[in-house]
Amino acid sequence: MTHVIVLNGGSSSGKSGIARCLQSLLAPEPWLTLGTDTLVDAMPGTGVGIAFGDDGSVSVGPEFRRVEAAWIAGVAAMARAGAHVVVDEVFLGGPASQERWRTALAGLDVLWAGVRCDPQVAAWRETARGNRVPGMAASQAESVHHGISYDVVVDTTRAEAMTCAREIAAKVG
């Protein structure tokens, strides 16, 4: 049985909405949703070792990577202890990001889901939300998928979150 669903996509691609829909679709089994925003929000101030550029770029340093490694290990420990987890992630480091998760989740049944969205649509959503660094959505829309392997890929450009969640839920074993 699937223990973890990892959703990878750029900022404002629709991962959080899909995660909430998955929680509903996969009930009555409780699925926790944890994501990179959960980690960043838990950090003091604007984050430890993470910087957001005026152009929407994100850079992380060794302090962030150290805390991130502990966080990933904690998420994996919860899954090993019996929790079902939907991870809402942004693989800024490409394949190296996925490999960090693969290593931590070794031995667990993981479903890897790519969440794509047209860069212009993601940028529009980013502006509408008003709480994102301008330019982040467009810069991440394609780059976070380079070199990543998935079990399923959905596109939120024209599809609702529930439709995408149903596609992903159909792959849950």
The per-residue pLDDT string of the chain (173 residues; one tens digit each, 9 = 90 and over) reads 999 999 999 999 999 999 999 999 999 999 999 999 999 889 887 668 888 898 889 999 999 999 999 999 999 999 999 999 999 999 999 999 999 999 999 999 999 999 999 999 999 999 998 778 889 999 999 999 999 999 999 999 999 999 999 999 999 99
Is the pTM for the entire model greater than 0.75?
yes
157 Cα distance to chain centroid: 17
Catalytic residues: 37
Cα 42 from chain centre: 16
Which residue from 11, 13, 6, 102 is spatially nearest to 58, judged by alpha carbons?
Answer: 11
**Token digits of residue 142:** 């394609």
